[in-house]
Amino acid sequence: MIGIVEQYIGYEFMEPSWFFLTLLLPLFFWLLYKLNRSNIFGIRYTNTAENQQEITSFFVLTLRMFLHALKILLFLLFIVLLAKPIKIDESSAMPDNSAYGIDLIFVLDVSLSMQAMDLKPNRLESAKRVIGNFVQQRKNDRIGLVVYSGEAYSACHKTTDHQLFQSQLQYVNGTDLVQGTAIGVGLGTGITQLRGDSTSSKAIILLTDGKNNIGAISPSEAAELAVNENIRVYTIGVGTNGYAPMPDVGLFGSGISYSLVEIDEGILKEISDKTGGRYFRATDSESLQNIVAEIDKIEKKIMNKDEQILPQTAQLESLLTLLLILTGAIILGDVFLFMVYE
């Protein structure tokens, strides 16, 4: 929800937990309703039919509803200001500032089930496209790639040579690996690339569409290793709900079969919770793209909060102007109703 708000108003928030105050909106509505019932602008003390008609006119009722709406909007605006809205100006970063950048490893499931076609053209190709688009936008990040199925290997060690990364990514298909889903082994291999790194911001994005069913190290054990190395792990469950179409090559040609989607969301959430990351579920290609973009935003905020590398500005002029306008309109409206109709 916070991501939608950020996209709509053009700000990012340093303390988004203040948005939990929106849970008080039902109480706010109830208070406005009670005040509205208890203050009917003199109607209980007015005896003439002319005054009764004037007080309950369409204009008065409409104005009162409009003022209530402004008060709700003012309440929401205060929450936005408490959440410390900022704008991170990545384009204004100093070109020689080599400190800007994170060490990031993609840990990609390439097991046979990643050929399922619920993401277009299939899960693996969709994930490769999203990862490739992400890397194209990076400048100083050192990015690496680990692929796994029943075993794991480093397809590309972390590097700022993103052309090399892209070329290695395109060759990934998983056909030369033992089949299975070794989430713990894949994660452990990614951690190996980041072990002992002095970079303050280290993260892993792990993608899978199944359950851990093979490997010498369990996902929980690998998560503990990530904690010890101060590595955040973001986990993404890839696949729709229910059954997904799979290519089926038989004796009489190729066709399509359907297999049950079984993602161990419990263990993926455990990994992300332990390491300070987050768990996401991608049910289509668009949601996968949005998830990786959201992780990028989270990492920028963490890095900027720790090191203040990217220029950030409050630029609250428009919000403060709106605050003054709302406050003035509410005061003038209430005074008008009180002076004329009370």
CA-angle at 171, arms to 170 and 173, nearest 5°: 105
Cα dihedral sign, 8-11-12-15: negative
Same domain? For 323 and 231 the reply is: no
Q: Is the pTM of this model over 0.75?
A: no
* Helical packing angle, 285-307 and 123-136, nearest 10°: 40
Quote the pLDDT of residue 37: 63
- Is 142 within 8 Å of 160 (Cβ atoms)? yes
| Residues 260-263: contacts with CB under 8 Å, at least 24 apart | 261/116, 261/118, 261/209, 262/210, 262/211, 263/208, 263/209, 263/210, 263/211, 263/237, 263/238, 263/239
pLDDT of residue 99: 44
- Position 305 scores a pLDDT of 59
Q: What is the pLDDT along the chain (342 residues), one digit of tens a residue?
A: 555 555 555 567 777 788 888 888 888 788 877 776 655 544 444 445 555 555 556 677 777 788 888 888 888 888 888 887 776 555 544 444 444 468 999 999 999 999 999 999 999 999 999 999 999 888 778 999 999 999 999 999 999 999 999 999 999 988 889 999 999 999 999 999 998 776 778 999 999 999 999 999 999 999 999 999 999 999 999 998 888 998 887 666 577 888 888 899 999 999 999 999 999 999 999 999 999 988 988 887 776 655 444 444 455 677 778 888 888 888 888 787 777 665
**246 and 323 share a domain?**
no
Q: Is there a domain that residue 337 lies in? A: yes
Q: Indicate whether 190 and 111 sit together in one domain.
A: yes
Residue 96 lies in a domain: no
Residue 93 lies in a domain: no
Q: Are residues 288 and 161 in the same domain?
A: yes
Answer yes or no: is 38 within a domain: yes
Cα diameter, the chain: 93
272 and 139 belong to one structural domain: yes
Residue 94 resides in a domain: no
Question: Domain range spanning residue 28?
Answer: 2-88+314-341
- Regarding whether 278 and 133 lie in a shared domain, the answer is yes
First to last CA, the chain: 42
Phi, psi of 180 (to 5 degrees): 140, -175
Whether 145 maps to a domain, the answer reads: yes
pLDDT at 321: 81
**Are 67 and 105 part of one and the same domain?**
no
Rounded Cα distance, 270 and 90, in Å? 32
Residue 73 domain-assigned (yes or no)? yes
Q: Give the CATH number, domain containing residue 143.
A: 3.40.50.410
Residues 179 and 267 in one domain: yes
Q: How far apart are CA 205 and CA 131, in angstroms?
A: 10
Residue 326 CA, distance from chain mean position: 30
- Looking at the structure of the chain, the number of domains it has is 2
Classify strands 312-313 and 85-88 as parallel, antiparallel or unpaired: antiparallel
Q: Are residues 199 and 215 in the same domain?
A: yes
**Do 18 and 152 have their domain in common?**
no
Contact predicate 80/316, CB 8 Å: no
Same domain, 266 and 330: no
- Is residue 74 in some structural domain? yes
Q: Following CA atoms 266, 267, 273, 274 in sequence, which dihedral angle do they give, to the nearest 10 degrees?
A: 150
Bridge partner residues of 279 (DSSP): 235
- 193 and 153 fall within a common domain: yes
